[in-house]
Each structure stands twice: as structure tokens, then as C-alpha cells.
Amino acid sequence: MTRAVIVTGAAGGIGSALCERMRKDGYYVIGIDRVSSPAADKSLQLDLCEFEQLVVLGRELAGSYELKAVVHNAAVQPIAGVGQSTLAEWTDAFRVNVIAVDALVSGARHSLATNDGSVVVVGSVHGRATTGGITAYATTKAALEGWARSAALDLGPDVRVNVVAPGAIDTAKLREGFARWGAAAAEERKAMLRQRTALGRIGDPGDVAGPVSFLISDDARFITGAVLVVDGGATARLGSE
């Protein structure tokens, strides 16, 4: 059977870069998103809120491919602070950002175990240090790290589970987040972010795809339950400095 990698959120900026990198690494890429993903070999359009459908899909893909990895990149980011998110926004955030990967792994775990596979979830620095106005997003990204630690224990020694936690990456989602402050303020905040980042720039989607590729590879065969922060050194600086 064909060696394959599943990538969720495959149509976005980071998702497309992940698909391209996985294909470059020699894998057949199965992209899952609400819209079609041209970067994937096989694009499946699916609402990631549908738990049972994801379990069934994981099982079906496990029966058709040798699954090397599940890369969970999909996420929703309600722009709302404490007490402002609706129940539907909270529910969708947990379903997409956290529960979807559990559902996929539930169906695919046997194939992953058979093929020395791994799970990599794309978390966020917002799971550890955040900003105002994105409460549900920050909460679910913190929960995703907790899921990964637990999954590393439950799925080991056959399947490794790790987190890549990006900082600011130049995507539509980042631009949407900055837009909530208005155009002028957004540009000022971007400039400040670049200034306070050790590497002096905002990241590129490829900066996330590379570390994910490493964690899937045999070079990372003794790494599980880990969080790799990919933020250009932004969180190395004290907030009071």
C-alpha cells in the first residue's frame, strides 16, 4: 500500500505548506478541510466538527494506506474575549482544534502503530502566553498540548505524539487577528512584533512545515510528548523588558 500522511486544515497557508513538504518528503498526502486543497494529492472536504465521520474516515484511510502520520493543523479562532464567545463558538473551537485529532487517531491508530507512525499537532504559543480577545483559541491550544502529552503515553511505544507551537506566521489567520485593531494599529503591532522577535521577522508557513517534517522522520524516533516552539525567539523575551 501507499505510504501516506493525513493533514487537516490542508487548504490554509500553513496547511498548504505542510502538504507541499510532505509530498517533497515522498508521502502521498491526504488533505482534509472544509474547502478543496490543491496542495494535497487527495483532497477531502469535510466539516471537522463531525466526530463520528472523522472516526470512520480514519478507519477507512487506515485500511487503504500505510499511514505514517496524522498532522492536525486545522483550527478556528473566534475573535472574542472572556464572556463574549457564544456556546456555538466554544463548541466549534474545541471540536475543530482538539477533538478532531482524537477522532481521526481513534480510527487510524492501528495503521499508525504498524508503520512506526506519529501524530503531530500544530499548537500555538498562545497556549502558553497569549493576548486579549482570543479566549477560546488560547484555551483550546493549551488543551491541545494536554491532549498530546496524554496521547504520547496512551499510544506509546508504537506511535509518537508531538506538538509544534508556532508564533506569528504570515497567514490569512494572522492578518485576520491583527485586523481587529484596525489597519493603522495592526501595522504598528506587526512592526513591534518583528522588533521584539529575536530573529527580527514574522514567520513563513514553511518555517512550520520543516519542524513537522523532522518530528515525523526517523531522526526524531526518541522524541514524544514534546513541544517544539517555532516563534523566532519571541517568547524568549520577558514581557516586562
Enumerate the active-site residues.
137
CA nearest to 220, candidates 117, 145, 150? 117
CA nearest to 32, candidates 85, 101, 123, 132? 101
SS3 75: coil
Q: Which residues pair with 163 in a beta bridge?
A: 121, 227
CA distance 142 to 140: 5
Tally Cβ neighbours within 10 Å of residue 27.
24
CA distance 67 to 32: 15
SS3 228: strand
Geometric angle at alpha carbon 138, from 128 and 194, rounded to 5° = 65
Residue whose entry in the numeric block shows the C-alpha cell 515525523: 216
